[in-house]
Amino acid sequence: LDPVSFTNESKAVVDFIADYYENIEKYPVQSTVEPGYLSARLPESAPYCPESLEDILKDVNDCIVPGLTHWQSPNFFAYFQANASTAGFLGEMLCSGFNVVGFNWISSPAATELESIVVDWMGKLLKLPSSFLFAGTGGGVLHGSTCEAAVCVLAAARDKALKELGGWEHITKLAVYASDQTHFTFQKAAKLVGIPPSNFRLIKTTFSTGFAMSPETVRSAVEDDIKSGLVPLFLCATIGTTPTGAVDPIAELGKVAMEFKAWLHIDAAYAGSACICPELRHHLDGVELSNSISMNPHKWFLTNMDCCCLWIKEPHLLTDSLSSDPEYLKNNASKTKSVVDYKDWQIALSRRFRALKLWIVIRRHGLANLMYHIRSDIAMAKHFEALVRKDGRFEIVMPRKFSLVCFRLKPTAAAEAEDDGRELNSKLVEAINSSGRAFMSHAVAGGVYVIRCAIGSTLTQQHHVDALWKLVQEKAQSLLTNHSI
């Protein structure tokens, strides 16, 4: 790595990215390419001789950009946002620049120590009890995704339970509980750690509880399972579910989990960030009853991909399950047990220096601007919700809690009888997305098809939300005019 060409070439890439952001609104938000488009544009095999950066950037522009769905577009309202920010980007640059692999303390003490400090900072911003912090009796780690965090805490819970039950042969008795709104990643994680899929209970949610998991329903599922010889292992509660942004009642669920000695995990992947605001912190009330909690700063906390915080009350349960001690990694610091070796808190050995970007994001924005960021997205979501309510042809289907608005075109009697308005609303989403002017997604909850307007792209301003609503109205109008209902 030659510092001179590094400086020149990275400047060219930074200029390219700045230009991309300058022009981002000119691209169709959802890519319009057909499957396989890229192999028709790129050579069949790798080059023998080096190519110029200029040629490569030209291909990025001509071949890659058309195949991007523009997550950073201010008109991206489809999935939960993947916030990018200058601070997050600078942190990623430093992470790549140093390119250290802090799998244990000696492999890069700063990487380990900054991570422990920054997860404590983040935990304090969320007002987590000290039982989750290194400053107290717990600790935290940065993973790449909630899925990885889920696999790790499930493995820890599994091994603790199997030790108490007397060995691996009891694994078929372990049962996991989540709701029908819980992210699918927990089902995948349970399968990966060997829980029989038939022991995964999806607790049904309904409109009456706003799609939150009912503690009574969990209790009766657990009691039924115990009667048939199963052992309740793990309960996953969510703050801000993916389909509709629902919040599970963690204090009540915590009591049920404690009564039956099940591990309670809180998945706050999306909405956890919002809990830094005092007026939204109540969603975490009861967190002290849980065993672990995770949230993704790479969603709503201005931290570029990837970054998931996981806190755990008893870190030794994680390390009991995940630690390994090969000869080539033995060292004095690890032997003293006075240092954190993050390889024992995750699946892989290698790891990125993610703490740098979260640290820089927090320092460059400060709590004040981070709260402003969350509040302005919520204000825009409230504004969109008010626009929907004003138009009698539409309805808000679920109560909004954060910056996700779930709405639909009210089905006519005929459409309701036919399919509860599903086809009508899915055509509306398709018409919006194929316009290239915005990108939205959908969910089905309680059998009802809803359109998801997830506000939170870093560049979105109120005029984008107003333009989105005009687009929705325009497409709805033409659909209702042409629809034979």
Give yes or no for residue 308 binding ligand PLP (CB under 6 A): yes
Nearer to ligand PLP, 221 or 269 (CB): 269
CB of 294 to ligand PLP, least distance (A): 8
Enumerate residues 6+ apart whose C-beta is below 8 A from 449: 408, 420, 421, 422, 425, 426, 442, 443
Residues 105-164 that bind ligand PLP (CB under 6 A): 145-147
Per-residue interface string for the shown chain with ligand PLP, residues 231-270, x marking contact by CB under 6 A:
-------x-xxx------------------------x-xx
* Minimum distance, C-beta of residue 135 to ligand PLP, in the bound complex (Å): 26
Number of residues near ligand PLP (by CB under 6 A) = 15
- Looking at the Cβ atoms of 242 and 403, the one nearer to ligand PLP is 242
* Residue (104 or 238) nearer to ligand PLP, CB: 238
CB 141 within 8 A of CB 345: yes
CB 67, min distance to ligand PLP, A: 21
Nearer to ligand PLP, 242 or 433 (CB): 242
Write out the E strands in 316-436: 394-396, 404-409
User: Of the candidates 483, 471, 477, which has an alpha carbon nearest to the alpha carbon of residue 432?
Assistant: 471
Tokens (6 digits) for 239: 């703050």
By CB under 6 A, what part of segment 58-97 binds ligand PLP?
80
Q: Which is nearer to ligand PLP, 107 or 185 (CB)?
A: 185
Q: How far is the CB of 128 from ligand PLP (least distance, A)?
A: 18
Q: Give me the least distance between CB of 301 and ligand PLP, in Å please.
A: 13
Residue 203, H or E segment: strand 200-203
> Which DSSP category does 48 fall into?
S
Q: CA nearest 312: which of 134, 118, 127?
A: 134
Q: Sign of torsion, CA 6 11 14 16?
A: negative
Cis peptide leading into residue 306 (ω within 30°): yes
442 lies in the binding site for ligand PLP (CB under 6 A): no
The contact pattern for ligand PLP, residues 169-188, with x = CB under 6 A and - = no contact, is: --------------x-x---
Residue 278 CB neighbour total at 10 angstroms = 9
Main-chain dihedrals φ then ψ at residue 364, nearest 5 degrees: -70, -30
CB of 222 to ligand PLP, least distance (A): 22
Closest distance to ligand PLP from the beta carbon of 403 (Å): 13
Closest CB 417 distance from ligand PLP, rounded Å: 33
By CB under 6 A, tell whether 403 contacts ligand PLP: no
Indicate the DSSP class of residue 239: B
Q: How far is CA 49 from CA 40, 44, 46, 52, 63, in A?
A: 21, 15, 9, 10, 21
In the bound state with ligand PLP, the residue whose beta carbon lies nearer, of 138 and 240, is 240
Specify the residue, 86 or 145, whose C-beta has the smaller distance to ligand PLP.
Answer: 145
Nearer to ligand PLP, 162 or 250 (CB): 250
E strands, 57-147, in order = 139-143
Closest approach of Cβ 114 to ligand PLP, in Å? 21
**Cβ partners under 8 Å of residue 124, min gap 6:** 133
Give 147 or 276: the residue with its C-beta nearer to ligand PLP. Answer: 147
C-beta separation of 372 from 309 below 8 A? no
Query: HSE-up of 370 (CA within 13 Å, CB side)?
Result: 28
CA–CA–CA angle 454, 243, 369 (5° rounding) = 35
Which residues of this chain interact with ligand PLP, rule CB under 6 A? 80, 145-147, 183, 185, 238, 240-242, 267, 269-270, 296, 308
